[in-house]
């Protein structure tokens, strides 16, 4: 008798458990479908053509379409294949090395040739001839390097301009989404920051820092060529200005965006939570349902905002990685060539290579700083207004 | 800027060539000093010109962020329709079925929804309660007032 009752009780409990699971699952599926439909509808109403065109233009591959990429991100189907990314980075690096190799071989060839001529000639008699020869060698090496530096300089300049365009394209979309989901304080904090990044920071980099880098490079080159006139102190002076400008820009931007971003996100979070609490408690019957309905609309907006943010980060990575790798390749090869030349040839030639590689370091810093600024800003925008659901 | 850099480079190369050509002696030292002085003047040219020109700072702010108002309109309408749905639900809990709720609203520049009027159409609805209709409507009105945080005058029932 007791056993039958126990069995009945177990079966009853199991039934309740199955029913509970079923209803719970049913509930979640309904919410997931509703959310998915809501996201689709919201995406149809959002103007993403500018970002889509920019994405397709810069990724430059038929394999990835912007909307397909966004949908795969939203559905959680997109996964990062680190092997492919690593292979791509390695391939880009190696292609850069192979492309630059003739340049560095010719530089090393000229330097070695000069070293051989210098060593076999009679020093006392051929001192002035050697000086002329060194001048010609240096001039030809610098001419070869100068074309490369100029192309790298133009490349960095274009990437910075593209980052400004990307900031101007993505910010209205993300700001609109933030405004829609109720992150008013965050919008008030980010709108001037976005304008300052796309205007002020980019202007400073393009009109002040990049020309100063060019000038430092020129002074270094001229000091190497000229026997009597030295401009190393001028180069150091401009390098100091570059360092100060970069440092101050990072400090001002980082300081204000982090303080404003964090405080505004907290302010928005508290005000929205207070509104939600008021809704749930003021109407006991429908308050909970209403909260859920709002949650779905707001969750859709948040998911779209974050997905667009992630796609912009991906775009930024793709835009920056190639020029960064070519700058790195060029700098490493230049230092390697200087190391090879040093024992064989005139130290002036290896010094010229090292001083030019310093210029490349400044170009890399500018690119990294501008990229990092956009990266931090998008990251803060992604993380703000997330605590609303 | 380009002209300035170009003139520095040309002057430097020119001075190097001259210093290579010139034979050692007193005159060569004087010529080299003059060339160095000229080069310094060329380098300082922008600083000399600075006093004549106005210093113009570039625009520190880029283009203004333009909000997509069509999306905001859609989002606000969606939010309001959700509120309308739940108002009707709320009314049915008080015994007023099949009511049509219409919330008239506007938004300010910060996208804050300002509710102007709530019109509740009772043409096709039925009131199912053992209490008086006026009493039910007054209670429902009060509930909607609390829910939407509006004034009583803003809620209008009509048939």
User: What confidence tens digit (pLDDT) does each residue in A290-322 have?
Assistant: 556 777 888 888 889 999 999 999 899 989 998
- CB contacts of B68 in chain A (<8 Å) are 46-47, 172-173, 176
CB A114 within 8 A of CB A349: yes
What is chain A's mean pLDDT, rounded? 81
- CB contacts of B63 in chain A (<8 Å) are 168, 195, 198-199
Cα–Cα–Cα angle for B38, B17, A124, rounded to 5 degrees: 130
A171 and B60 in contact by Cβ < 8 A? no
Closest-approach residue (CA) in chain B for A134 = B20
Q: Is the pLDDT of residue A6 over 80?
A: no
Q: What is the pLDDT of residue A276?
A: 65
B111 and A180 in contact by Cβ < 8 A? yes
Q: How confident is the model at residue A70 (pLDDT cuts 50, 70, 90)?
A: confident
Q: How confident is the model at residue B14 (pLDDT cuts 50, 70, 90)?
A: confident
Q: Is the pLDDT of residue A28 over 60?
A: no
CB nearest to B5's CB, from A41, A135, A215: A215
Q: What is the pLDDT of residue B60?
A: 63
Per DSSP, B153 falls in state: G
To the nearest whole Å, the CA of A203 is away from the closest chain B CA by 7
Query: Does the beta carbon of B56 lie under 8 angstroms from any beta carbon of chain A?
Result: no
Q: What's the whole-number mean pLDDT along residues A211-228?
A: 83
Q: What is the pLDDT of residue B143?
A: 83
B20 and A282 in contact by Cβ < 8 A? no
CA-based max dimension of chain A = 123
**Proportion of chain B above pLDDT 70, given as a percent:** 86
Q: What is the pLDDT of residue A4?
A: 61
Q: What is the pLDDT of residue A173?
A: 92
Q: What is the pLDDT of residue B96?
A: 81
A195 and B83 in contact by Cβ < 8 A? no
Higher pLDDT, A71 or A124: A71
To the nearest whole Å, the CA of A81 is away from the closest chain B CA by 34
Q: What is the pLDDT of residue A23?
A: 47
Higher pLDDT, A280 or A143: A143
Euclidean distance between CA atoms B28 and B104, whole angstroms: 91
B93 and A286 in contact by Cβ < 8 A? yes
**Which of A169, A226, A370 to probe the B interface (max B CBs under 10 A)?**
A226
Q: Is the pLDDT of residue A29 over 60?
A: no
CB nearest to B86's CB, from A46, A278, A293: A293
Return the beta strands (E) in chain A as ranges. none
Task: Read off the pTM.
Answer: 0.80
Query: Does the beta carbon of B12 lie under 8 angstroms from any beta carbon of chain A?
Result: yes
B61 and A234 in contact by Cβ < 8 A? no
CB A57 within 8 A of CB A290: no
Residues 6+ apart with CB under 8 A from A267: A185
Q: Label residue B123 left, alpha or beta by phi (over 0 means left) and psi (-120 to 50 means alpha).
A: alpha
Euclidean distance between CA atoms A210 and B139, whole angstroms: 70
Angle between helices A347-383 and A127-180 (to 10 degrees): 0
> Tens of pLDDT along A236-290?
998 999 999 999 988 888 888 888 777 787 777 777 666 666 655 555 555 555 5
Each as own residue / partner, the long-range contacts of residues A253-257 (CB below 8 Å, 24 or more positions apart, any chain) are A253/A193, A253/A196, A253/A197, A253/A201, A253/A373, A254/A376, A256/A193, A257/A193, A257/A376, A257/A377, A257/A380
Q: What is the pLDDT of residue A25?
A: 47
Q: How confident is the model at residue A96 (pLDDT cuts 50, 70, 90)?
A: confident
Q: What is the pLDDT of residue A275?
A: 65
CB A300 within 8 A of CB A229: no
A198 and B32 in contact by Cβ < 8 A? no
Of the ranges A8-22, A140-154, A308-322, A341-355, which one carries the lowest mean pLDDT score? A8-22
Q: Is the pLDDT of residue A1 over 60?
A: no
Q: What is the pLDDT of residue B52?
A: 56
> Tens of pLDDT along B79-98?
888 888 888 888 888 788 88
Q: What's the whole-number mean pLDDT along residues A65-84?
A: 80
**Which of B75, B87, B89, B141 to probe the A interface (max A CBs under 10 A)?**
B75
**Proportion of chain A above pLDDT 70, given as a percent:** 82
Q: Is the pLDDT of residue B53 over 60?
A: no
Q: How confident is the model at residue A162 (pLDDT cuts 50, 70, 90)?
A: very high
Q: How confident is the model at residue B38 (pLDDT cuts 50, 70, 90)?
A: confident
Euclidean distance between CA atoms B150 and B145, whole angstroms: 5
Q: What's the whole-number mean pLDDT along residues B59-72?
A: 78
Euclidean distance between CA atoms A295 and A301, whole angstroms: 10
**Phi and psi dihedrals of A359, rounded to 5?**
-60, -40
A282 and B146 in contact by Cβ < 8 A? yes
Tokens linked to A14: 């199991």
Helix (H) or strand (E) holding B158: strand B155-158
Residue by residue, DSSP assigns A131-195 as: HHHHHHHHHHHHHHHHHHHHHHHHHHHHHHHHHHHHHHHHHHHHHHHHHHTT-HHHHHHHHHHHH
């Amino acid at each position: 008798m007791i056993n039958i009752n126990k069995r009945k009780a177990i079966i009853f409990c199991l039934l309740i458990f199955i029913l509970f699971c079923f209803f719970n699952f049913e509930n979640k599926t309904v919410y997931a479908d509703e959310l998915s439909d809501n996201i689709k509808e919201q995406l149809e109403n959002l103007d993403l053509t500018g970002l889509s065109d920019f994405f397709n233009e810069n990724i430059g591959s038929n394999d990835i379409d912007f909307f397909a990429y966004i949908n795969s991100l939203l559905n959680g189907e997109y996964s990062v294949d680190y092997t492919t990314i690593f292979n791509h980075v390695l391939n880009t690096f190696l292609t850069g090395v192979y492309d630059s190799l003739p340049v560095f071989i010719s530089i090393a060839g000229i330097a070695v040739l000069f070293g051989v001529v210098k060593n076999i000639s009679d020093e006392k008699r051929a001192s002035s001839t050697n000086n002329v020869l060194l001048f010609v060698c240096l001039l030809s090496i610098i001419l070869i390097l100068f074309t490369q530096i100029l192309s790298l300089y133009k490349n960095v300049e274009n990437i910075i301009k593209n980052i400004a365009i990307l900031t101007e394209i993505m910010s209205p979309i993300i700001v609109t989404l933030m405004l829609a989901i109720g992150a008013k304080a965050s919008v008030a904090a980010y709108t001037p920051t976005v304008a300052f990044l796309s205007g002020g920071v980019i202007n400073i980099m393009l009109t002040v820092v990049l020309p100063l880098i060019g000038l430092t490079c020129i002074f270094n080159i001229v000091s190497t060529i000229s026997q009597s006139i030295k401009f190393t102190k001028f180069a150091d002076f401009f390098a100091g200005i570059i360092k100060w400008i970069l440092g101050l820009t990072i400090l001002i931007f980082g300081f204000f965006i982090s303080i404003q971003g964090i405080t505004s996100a907290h302010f928005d979070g508290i005000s929205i939570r207070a509104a939600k609490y008021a809704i749930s408690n003021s109407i006991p019957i429908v308050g909970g349902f209403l909260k859920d309905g709002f949650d779905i609309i707001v969750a859709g907006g948040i998911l779209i905002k974050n997905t667009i943010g992630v796609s912009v980060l991906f775009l930024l990575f793709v835009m920056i990685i190639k020029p960064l790798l070519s700058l790195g390749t060029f700098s490493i090869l230049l230092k390697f060539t200087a190391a090879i030349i040093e024992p064989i040839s005139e130290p002036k030639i290896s010094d010229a290579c090292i001083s030019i590689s310093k210029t490349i370091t400044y170009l890399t810093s500018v690119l990294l700083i501008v990229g990092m600024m956009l990266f931090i800003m998008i990251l803060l925008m992604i993380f703000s207004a997330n605590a609303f659901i | 800027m380009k002209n300035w850099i170009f003139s520095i480079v040309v002057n430097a190369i020119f001075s190097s060539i001259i210093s290579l050509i010139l034979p050692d002696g007193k005159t060569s030292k004087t010529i080299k000093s003059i060339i160095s002085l000229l080069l310094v003047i060329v380098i300082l040219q922008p600083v000399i010109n600075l006093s004549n020109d106005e210093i113009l700072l570039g625009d520190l702010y880029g283009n203004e962020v333009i909000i997509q108002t069509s999306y905001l309109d859609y989002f606000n309408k969606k939010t309001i329709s959700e509120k309308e749905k739940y108002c009707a639900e709320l009314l049915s809990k008080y015994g007023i079925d099949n009511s049509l709720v219409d919330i008239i609203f506007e938004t300010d520049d910060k996208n804050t929804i300002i509710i102007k009027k709530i019109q509740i159409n009772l043409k096709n609805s039925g009131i199912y309660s053992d209490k008086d209709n006026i009493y039910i409507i007054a209670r429902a009105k009060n509930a909607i007032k609390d829910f939407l945080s509006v004034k009583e005058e803003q809620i209008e029932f009509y048939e």
